[in-house]
Amino acid sequence: MPPMPALPESVPGRRCGLVAIVGKPNVGKSTLLNALVGQKISITSRKAQTTRHRITGIRTLEQADGTGTQFVFVDTPGFQTRHANALNRSLNKTVLGAVGDVDLILFVVEAGSFTPADAKVVSLLGQGIPVLLIANKLDNVHRRADLAPWLAKMQQDHAFAEYMPMSAKNAGDVRRLLNLCEKFLPEQNWWYDAEELTDRSERFLASETVREKLFRLTGDELPYTSTVVIDKFEEEPPQRKGQKRLVRIAATIVVERDGHKAMVIGDKGERIKRIGTEARQELEKLMDAKVFLEMWVKVRSGWADDEARVRSFGYE
């Protein structure tokens, strides 16, 4: 279950609900989530811990009179159809688990394209929850006239509640999407304070941040079976008033082959250094702390096929 430190009473003018973002890999789900949650840097709440392995982002649009809408976003790992090993089974279960109890599903595809992998994701969505079709990467569609027949066909073949051609990289589109989502969320009080961004622990944020830098800085070369494990996460209070607390983090990047290890380390250690610097800088902003980040790279051949080990790395 998602965290619901719930005050289920209805508050006039307030809406709140869960929104899942689903779609096959690389359609722009994370980009969309980040854009929807916004760039506002905020403290992370320690009060609620979800047991499911997924990222939750929170966006609150508050009016001057205290009314407004709180969107609690659920991101899901890319739905993997190519290889059916233990890691993929775990990811698929997460997709299923995340969409069963939400108020609204954003199903992301690339505008103008609907492949068997997209159809597979749709087939997992089940009934009863409204689904918006997000036709993302509209900026890549050079002949807009081609999109109309595609949209018509999508409307004919599926019972989507709304259709939204857009670009996750366009702020106006993102705003329109938030407005479109509002009416699907029930009238009830917010679950979180207006300024909260996520309910995941800082330890989880640390592993996600290192992971994000790892994949961004190695491009397409590194297989998705590589993962990040946080070995140590220790906090020290500020020494003096006005100073920030200190967070010491040790992270291990686990890869499958020696070649991948070399790729992560880079020429004379350049790449791992850059991954570490960028992750540390981002974490310092996110956590409002001074961060020491120590990183290791280990080769664990075949770990993606080993159920127990997949679990021990934090996937359910």
Ligand X SMILES: Nc1nc2c(ncn2[C@@H]2O[C@H](COP(=O)(O)OP(=O)(O)OP(=O)(O)O)[C@@H](O)[C@H]2O)c(=O)[nH]1
Q: Which residue ranges make up the site for ligand X (CB under 6 A)?
A: 23, 25-31, 78, 136-137, 139-140, 167-169
Q: Which two tokens stand for residue 197?
A: 């961004």
**Pick 103 or 118: Cβ nearer ligand X:** 118
User: 40 φ, ψ to 5°?
Assistant: -60, 125
In the complex, the smallest distance separating the C-beta of residue 32 from ligand X, rounded to whole angstroms, is 7
**Residue of minimal Cβ distance to ligand X:** 78
d(CA 137, CA 216): 19
Say which residues have a Cβ less than 8 Å from residue 85's Cβ, sequence separation at least 6.
304, 305
Minimum distance, C-beta of residue 220 to ligand X, in the bound complex (Å): 10
Of 105, 130, 98, 71, nearest to 1 by C-alpha is 98
Nearer to ligand X, 108 or 263 (CB): 108
Q: How far apart are CA 206 and CA 127, in angstroms?
A: 35
Q: Minimum distance from CB of 175 to ligand X (Å)?
A: 14
Binding site as annotated, residues:
23-30, 75-79, 136-139
C-beta closer to ligand X: residue 117 or 194: 117
Number of residues that make up the chain: 316
Which residues does the annotation place in the binding site for GTP?
23-30, 75-79, 136-139
Place of tokens 């020290």: 236
Shortest distance in whole angstroms from residue 139 CB to ligand X: 5
Query: Computed over its alpha carbons, how large is the radius of gyration of the chain?
Result: 20
Dihedral (Cα; 98, 57, 175, 144), 10-degree rounding: -50
Closer to ligand X by CB, 14 or 137: give it.
Answer: 137
Cα–Cα distance measured from residue 115 to residue 101, given in angstroms and rounded to the nearest whole number: 26
**CA–centroid distance for 161 within its chain:** 23
Shortest spacing between CB 35 and ligand X, in angstroms: 8
Cα separation, 101 vs 84, in Å, equals 25
CB of 77 to ligand X, least distance (A): 6
Name, in order, each residue with C-beta under 8 angstroms of 267's C-beta and a sequence gap of 6 or more: none
Which lies closer to ligand X via its Cβ, residue 139 or residue 146?
139
3-state secondary structure of 196: coil
**Residue with smaller CB distance to ligand X, 16 or 23:** 23
Rounded Cα–Cα distance for residues 259 and 280 (Å):
25
